[in-house]
Amino acid sequence: MSRINSICHVVHDYYPSIGGVEIQTKNLAEGLSKKGYNNIVFTKHTKSSYPEEETINDVEIVRKAYPATNSSFFLKLIGLVLNTRYLFVNRCRYQIIHLKAPFFELMIPCWLLKMFSNIKVVYALSIDGELPSVQGKMLSSLKKAVKRTMLMSFDAIISMNNMMSKEIEDFGVPREKILFIINGVETDRFVPDITKKIPGRVIFIGRIDIDHKGVDVLLKSWKGLCKEYDQYHLVVAGPFASDKNISTLKDYVKLNRLEDKVSFVGEINYYSSDIVDYYQSGELFILSSRYEGMPETLMQAMSCGLPVISTRVGAAAELVFEGVNGFLANVDDVSSLSSDIKGFFDLDESKRIDLGKRSREIIIENYGQEKRINQFVELFSSIS
């Protein structure tokens, strides 16, 4: 077979939506375009204001996918048929599918193309626990068997961390099909700037979803420190996942008189300079998640030279080294997180600076965006 030079990225959502999967897919597609690959992104139509088809930075975006994961069986079936039709009709336009959407309405069409055409398919996991579930809901034994059958036929399964690789093996996928590819950071964009640092400012950036990001645990940990560390301030940046999250968290802040110690600053546009400014203004970054894959914001904070504290989720243990560039806390453990925050503030200033420098070095050495793109180029060459 000739060299692969056309890729179809099948993903649940895409730019201008903001999230780890969306950002990584955009950076990958645009990076591959610069290396001479043709890129099509097949995704859902999330907002009526977005055109169904457009080209941005040499990447063709087609918003015609129909994931109906929260709808009736009938609508799911319609989505499955329509997605299959689009991918089959356009199969001559690409040679490989990069699938990053754990929904049957998108997985099954990709599997059918693999079985009945010459299309290659690689499936990339996004978070730990993805294989036995969909949107956090455990699959039945039959659905797990169907998913396993599809995975076994794909040309490669992409993992982002050691825990994820083990999960794939435990799911029954042969080790030789598993390929480790990092998530990358735009290290030339997310850079340190000590002139913007605000002493005592602690940063959280991410979608404010209690079940996922554990912001409730972060606030409880912060409350316990406020009396002893009066000069520090927590900035929580990002969109609220629901009205329930808004009321629960803001009521907690008000009830515990933390208005002067905690600020909710709203969503920050990833594609503007604002997000970099927020990282650069911080003295410490905290990730309090209950589950992750390879945490995007954690890596961005490290690239900006911040010391970091993270719960032990996903690839966090591969990014954060105790006492080297930060600390690791137990998931859902208020006292563990409080202890780590206190431990950081008890360090002298020179040690805090050293932690931040080492964060940046770890990202530069191991997680640059160019390295990720090159890993995909090597994968495509190996399966052609």
Question: pLDDT averaged over the chain?
Answer: 92
Residue 2 pLDDT grade (very low, low, confident, very high; cuts 50, 70, 90): low
Segment among 134-148, 182-196, 337-351 with least mean pLDDT: 134-148
Q: Which CATH architecture has domain 6-184+368-382?
A: 3-Layer(aba) Sandwich (3.40)
Average pLDDT, stretch 205-212?
Answer: 90
Q: What percent of the chain has pLDDT over 90?
A: 77
Q: Which of 242, 265, 266, 251 is nearest to 219 (CA)?
A: 251
Residue 229, pLDDT score: 78
Q: State pLDDT tens for residues 34-89.
A: 999 999 999 998 888 999 999 999 999 999 998 766 668 888 889 899 999 999 99
Residue written as tokens 């042969």? 174
Share of the chain above pLDDT 70, in %: 97
pLDDT at 1 over 60: no
**pLDDT the model gives residue 113:** 96
Q: What is the pLDDT of residues 121-145, one digit of tens each?
A: 999 998 878 888 876 678 899 999 9
Q: What is the pTM of this model?
A: 0.86
Same fold, 6-184+368-382 and 194-366: yes
* Contact in structure between 221 and 249 (CB atoms under 8 Å): no
- Per-domain boundaries in the chain: 6-184+368-382, 194-366
298-321 tens-digit pLDDT: 999 999 999 999 999 988 999 999
With residue 157 as reference, give the H or E element that holds it. Answer: strand 156-159
Per-residue model confidence (pLDDT) at position 293: 84
CA angle (90, 19, 41) in 5-degree steps: 10
Q: What is residue 73's predicted lDDT score, i.e. its pLDDT?
A: 83
pLDDT of residue 69: 60
At 189, is the pLDDT very low, low, confident or very high (cuts 50, 70, 90)? very high
Q: How confident is the model at residue 201 (pLDDT cuts 50, 70, 90)?
A: very high
Which pLDDT score is estimated for 322?
Answer: 96
Helices of type H across the chain: 20-34, 73-89, 104-116, 141-153, 162-170, 210-213, 215-226, 243-255, 274-281, 296-303, 316-319, 334-345, 349-366, 369-382
Convert the pLDDT of each residue in 274-301 to its tens digit. 999 999 999 999 999 998 888 999 999 9
132 DSSP assignment: T
pLDDT attached to residue 209: 87
Bridge partners, residue 204, by sequence = 236
- For residue 125, give both structure tokens: 């996991």
Q: Provide CATH code, domain 194-366.
A: 3.40.50.2000
pLDDT band at 3 (very low <50, low <70, confident <90, very high): low
> How far apart, in whole angstroms, are the C-alpha atoms of residue 58 and residue 306?
34
Measured from the Cβ of residue 58, the count of other Cβ atoms closer than 10 Å reads 13
